[in-house]
Structure 1
Amino acid sequence: MKRLGIYSVLLILILSLTLMAGCSRSGETIPADTLRYALEQEPSTLDPAKSSTLPESTVELAIFEGLTRLNDKDMPEPAMAESWTMSSDGLVYTFKIRSDAKWSDGKPVTAKDFEYAWKRALNPTVAANNAYMLYVLKNGEAYNTEKASADEVGVKAIDDYTLVVTLEAPAPYFLGLTAFHAYYPVREDIVEAAPDTWATNADTLIGNGPFKLVKWQHSSELQFVKNEQYWDAKAVRLTAMEWPISESQSTRLTLVEGGAADIMVEPPVADQERLAGLGLFKVAPSLGTYYYVFNVTAPPFDNPLVRKAFSMVIDRKVIVDTIVHGGKTPAYAFVPTGLIDEATGQDFRQAGGSLVSYNVAEAKRLLQEAGYGPNKPLPPVTILYNTNEMHKAIAEAVQAIWQNELGATISLQNQETKVFMANREEGHYQVARASWIGDYVDPQTFLDVFSDEANDAQYHSEAYTALMNRVHNTTDLKLRSQLMHEAEAMILDEALVLPIYFTTTPYVVRDTIDGFFWSSLGTVDFKQAYRK
């Protein structure tokens, strides 16, 4: 009876989604011929300055657009900016905003919208999660840390269609940054009218991207229609999208296989071989690392020897081969493969080599050195993770290893993603699941995670910050590469993280959908998607 009840609920869910005909705030009916993406998480916010998860970034990519947009090779192309020039020293960029760039309500997108948005993200009173992404701007960090004024930040609208940007130091990846959500424009009148709620409600979200959000039924569904005001609307082939929301991999797969969705990410591992046989399973490359982060202020992980010991007993290859699959590879460092070492032309990971190892005997010796043994057992440890079948399976495997090899008492705690993220950011945990997908195609995007004073590990190191400041400010590519390798080695020597695997993006898609692409930075772009 219990099993029948579960199947009945799923059937009702599928039928209700299939038959659903939603209406927007203006009475527009969502057409039946639409793309349906099963979103893996309810967005906490769609404020580009504050959002922090890939599902949020994917939604924002549909409804906003920056000065540039990444193509299917992850290269920036003209978007809100039709052209730009760069000074000979690489410090000053001058962007020309399209005269036909408009918001979804028909008002023009101007250079002033970009200046407002970027300075708002850096405003210390806003406390934006993504402020650090704009530290590349001259005085960006100084303004965010209250050492400079907003007027001193290196972004200025000369007129409605000219934006001049001055950097702290040359940054070869800067144009790629302008496609990132922290650099999207937002409208001052929209934000100031409802500062706390404008980005959590479809009625108040005005975007400038290929689609507009017309319905947001929280924890249930998002609905979009084509934005006819978009400058490149002729390239947008879909008339609408419906995105049911579920954190459950199995539920999302059921939606696709039942016909209520067309595409979903991260299908359950147990189904991947079967799905591949049906031609539904695909794998896209990804620049990311799945890891556990230690709270360095929470015993027993306030001792780096303990952190190293807990990391050294994990056999990453076994976890990947038996649990994870999906083309992922074991991670023996923090920066993933696929990034170029500018000094050598090699892959950065290949040049840096492995920085962690599997060594149970050494792990036990380190615990003894840290003072733990029969007369002083380890305190109980709780692994925190957000609700998801994969996260649960990995946490159970890690739990068993730590109990069997180290004699530790390990418990598991899962939380809904919004609560989980808040607790991790506030340091309310001992060890927690984490992942980082690059914000741009450069090793620095991984190393900056721990140069921010608000990092999840609660790690504050003047030496590391000084090292990363040298990375930010040098124009010597060889020196910059050397410094980044030193920074990564410091992260692993301090054992701030326990890297587990380098990511890919496994997904399931029905053969009726084409024209979309997955960026290696983790987002999926539906601008030119279509139903065959």
Structure 2
Amino acid sequence: MTLLVVGGLAACGKSNSSSSSSTKLAADQSVKLSAKSEVTTLDVSKAADSTSLTMLYHTQEGLFRLGKDEKLINALATKTTVSNGGKRYVFDLRKTNHWNDGKPVTAHDFVYSWRRTVNPKTASEYAYLMAGVKNFDQIQNGKLAPSQLGVKALGDYRLEVTLSKPVAYFKLLLAFPTFFPQEESVVTKEGSHYGHSSSATAYDGPFKMTKWQGTSQNWTLVKNPKFWDKRQIHLNKLNFQVVADPATGLSLFQKKSLDATTLDGTQVANLKNNPNLKTYVGGTTYYMQMNQKRVKALKNLKVRQALSLAIDKKQLASHVLRDGSKAPLGFVSQNLTRNPKTKADFARDAYVKQGVAYDLPQAKKLMKAGLKATGTKKLTLTLLSDDLPGTKTVAQYLQAELNKLPNVKITLNSLPYKTRLSRSNAGNFDLVISSWGADFADPINFLSLMSTGNTNNNGGFSDAQYDAAIQKSENQDANRPTARYQDLVTAEKRLMTQQGVVPLYQPATVELWNAKVSGYVWNPAGMSRGYQWMEVHQ
């Protein structure tokens, strides 16, 4: 996703679930939850915001689902066969799942859905996740018809996918709603209304949505009697309401009108000893991009290193944000993925101290040397950021830190998110605070961003050694897990050694949960919120 959408990202390590106070289930299996924004669409091909994708994840069923610690669980896929050097996948499908109208879910529904998503006329924001599927690029460019996509039904319950090259993380992608099936007859019948109300949508997942008319502030998920695994679904109802303000959320939680609520920094400080407090960190990084195309001095390594060393990231996380956020170990977040052999956290294997350290005296020396080398007497830079309260606070902190450097003056420009993003993408900035949340649990989802020419590489970082490591991981080592992992470690270390970006912090989501509710699964990447296996205890 462009700048992360999966809302509520961010456990101090592994995914975890809220604890329960009893082993006996309550008679009333319903929960009251909040969302930060409205649902915009239930169209699998078009959903791109956190709330909509989370609702699709719980009302639809794909080939796989994410369990604890990003573990892939078979959903509609019962068997997966990989051949042709990792380029051909054949999935045997369950024959027991049905759409809510009673029709069986078949391989044809996947074929239809994927072709619809990659069709340029659909304008799917998440179509790029299918880039590894054969003929994707030619279809997006209008050179081939969507029917030429490398996906085929080998009968009603066998699906074949052909990739253009091996994609090591392909199965992880399949747990994302963009890859879920769609019922063609319903899409056709509803036309432009498809996905814009709960009644104009087909469901094949654990729940169905009700009471949603397209702009509702409240909606409900109810247990789907047609779902193949309905016996494992204990919740009968999930009632949602939009709650954007943490103070309102806490008040509703204390009144027992919500079973969970997200806290802000002040609330976290006041409630840090509450036993029902849950902290989730991982999968997202906030970082500062430096525009090497626009500012001559920023092409100098010493200048970039000085900017990084002047920022105390630990202070930022613990004393400015105060919400459980963590100082980064690098660009790729912690708790995302692990060494295939040692199980060590990737972020620790690839850690470069200089890339995230705080050393103001050294920063001052480097800045003086860097400015001299570039013939710059005074470096005046504008730091671009979103105008949200939290981001503005971070920007003000960075300004104060960076203004301690000799002959450096930082001014601030805070803009609405869409405006800021537009300027970032156009390269219209000196420095900018950006963020990225992983769509799937693999370092490449971060590291590909900084490849030469990547549309998200707004600062114009370009390094041949870095690009070579990325290319090696995606090509000759794609089917060699250990070698590929090392390629990505090499890339991360190179990015930090060359200070291609300045990692700032890993955000946290801190929540209060009703102790009687258990089974909530959180993951750092992709669909972070898992309500499917929740249950209410007495």
For normalisation by structure 1, the TM-score amounts to 0.80
Aligned match of 1:411: 412
Contact 1:143 1:153 in 2 (8 A): yes
Instruction: Say yes or no: does 1:516 pair with 2:529.
Output: no
Equivalent residue, structure 1, for 2:182: 186
Decide whether the 8 Å contact of 2:98 with 2:104 is kept in 1.
Answer: yes
Match of 1:222 in 2: 219
CA distance in structure 1 between the partners assigned to 2:489 and 2:143 by the alignment: 30
Asked whether the equivalents of residues 383 and 395 of structure 2 are also in contact (C-alpha less than 8 Å), the reply is no
Rounded Cα–Cα distance in structure 2 between residues aligned with 1:146 and 1:460? 30
1:38–1:255 Cα contact (<8 Å) kept: no
Structure 1 segment 85-96 matched on structure 2, within 5 A: 85-87=81-83, 89-96=85-92
Which one-letter code corresponds to 2:172 in the other structure? G
What residue in structure 2 maps to residue 14 of structure 1? Answer: none
Distance in 2, matches of 1:304 and 1:251, equals: 47
Partner of 2:474: 472
2:358 corresponds to 1:358: yes
1:57-76 correspondence to structure 2 within 5 Å: 57-76=53-72
Following the alignment from structure 2 to structure 1, what is the Cα–Cα distance between the partners of residues 287 and 427? 16
Contact 2:63 2:77 in 1 (8 A): yes
Amino acid at match of 1:174: F
Contact 1:332 1:500 in 2 (8 A): no
Match of residue 26 from structure 1: none
**Structure 1 residue 146: Cα displacement:** 5.2
* Contact 1:268–1:390 (Cα < 8 Å) also in 2: no
- Preserved CA contact (<8 Å) 1:190 1:198: yes
Aligned to 2:154, what secondary structure does the other structure show?
strand
SS of equivalent to 1:399:
helix
1:59/1:418 Cα in 2 relative to 1: closer, same or farther (>3 Å)?
farther
Percent of aligned pairs sharing the same letter: 26
Provide the rounded CA distance (Å) in 2 between the counterparts of 1:198 and 1:167.
30
Residues 346, 277 of structure 1: CA spacing in aligned structure 2 closer, same or farther, 3 A cutoff?
Answer: closer
Instruction: Describe the superposition over 1:93-145 as per-residue Cα deviations: whole angstroms up to 9, x where unpaired.
Output: 21122222222343332212212222333334444332332223234345435
**Which residue does the alignment assign to 2:455?**
454
Instruction: Say if 1:175 and 1:363 are closer, same or farther in 2 by CA, change over 3 A.
Output: same
**Where do 1:482-521 residues align within 5 Å?**
482-489=486-493, 491-492=495-496, 495-521=499-525
Q: Which stretch shows the higher mean deviation, 52-61 or 204-213?
A: 52-61
> Is 1:122 equivalent to 2:118 in the alignment?
yes
Distance 1:367 1:212 in 2: 60
2:131 pairs with 1:135: yes
Work out the CA distance in 2 between the residues paired with 1:125 and 1:270: 46
Mapped pair 1:270 → 2:266: yes
Structure 1 residues 50 and 473, CA gap change in structure 2 (3 angstroms): farther
Question: 2: CA distance between counterparts of 1:331 and 1:157?
Answer: 45
Paired AA for residue 245 in structure 1? V
Counterpart secondary structure, 2:330: coil
1:98/1:161 contact within 8 Å kept: yes
Residues 239-278 of structure 1 mapped to structure 2, 5 A cutoff = 239-265=236-262, 267-278=263-274
Residue 340 of structure 1: aligned partner: 338
**Which residue of the partner structure matches residue 166 of structure 1?**
162
Deviations 1:224-276 (A, max 9, x none): 222222222222222222222233333333332232221123x1122224434
Q: Is the Cα contact below 8 Å between 1:427 and 1:456 reproduced in 2?
A: no
Judge which range, 505-514 or 453-462, deviates more: 453-462
Q: 3-state DSSP class of the match of 2:414?
A: strand
Give the CA deviation at 1:67.
0.3
Hey, what's the Cα distance between the residues in 1 that align with 2:104 and 2:483? 44
Answering whether residue 198 of structure 2 is matched by residue 202 of structure 1, we say yes
Q: Which residue of 2 aligns with 1:233?
A: 230
Q: Which residue of 2 aligns with 1:7?
A: none
Q: CA deviation at 1:489?
A: 4.3
SS class of match (1:508)? strand
Q: By how many angstroms is 1:216 displaced?
A: 5.1
Q: How much does 1:175 deviate? A: 2.3
Partners of 2:42 and 2:296 lie apart in 1 by 37
What's the counterpart of residue 384 of structure 1?
385
Partner Cα separation in structure 1 for residue 463 and residue 140 of structure 2: 18
What code does the residue aligned with 2:351 have?
A: G
Q: 1:524 to 1:285 in 2, by over 3 A?
A: same
Supply the RMSD in Å over aligned alpha carbons.
3.5
Aligned to 2:277: 281
Does residue 176 (structure 1) correspond to residue 172 (structure 2)? The answer is: yes
Residues 78, 403 of structure 1: alpha-carbon distance in 2 compared, 3 angstrom cutoff: same
State whether residues 367 and 405 of structure 2, in contact with CA within 8 Å, keep that contact through their aligned partners in structure 1.
no
State the structure with bigger RCO (CA 8 A, min sep 6), 1 or 2: 2
Q: 1:132 to 1:317 in 2, by over 3 A?
A: same
Superposed, 1:423-438 pairs within 5 Å as 431-438=431-438
1:529 is aligned to 534
Q: In the alignment, what sits opposite 1:329?
A: 326
Q: Which moved more, 1:43-52 or 1:149-158?
A: 43-52
Q: Secondary structure at the match of 2:458?
A: coil
Question: What SS does structure 1 have at the residue aligned with 2:317?
Answer: helix
Deviation of 1:281 after TM superposition, in Å, equals 0.8
Structure 1 residues 343 and 384: CA distance shift in structure 2, 3 A: same
Number of residue-to-residue matches in the alignment: 496
Aligned counterparts of 1:364 and 1:113: Cα–Cα separation in 2: 62
SS of structure 1 residue aligned to 2:247? helix
C-alpha distance in 2 between matches for 1:79 and 1:530: 20
Q: Is 2:314 the counterpart of 1:317?
A: yes
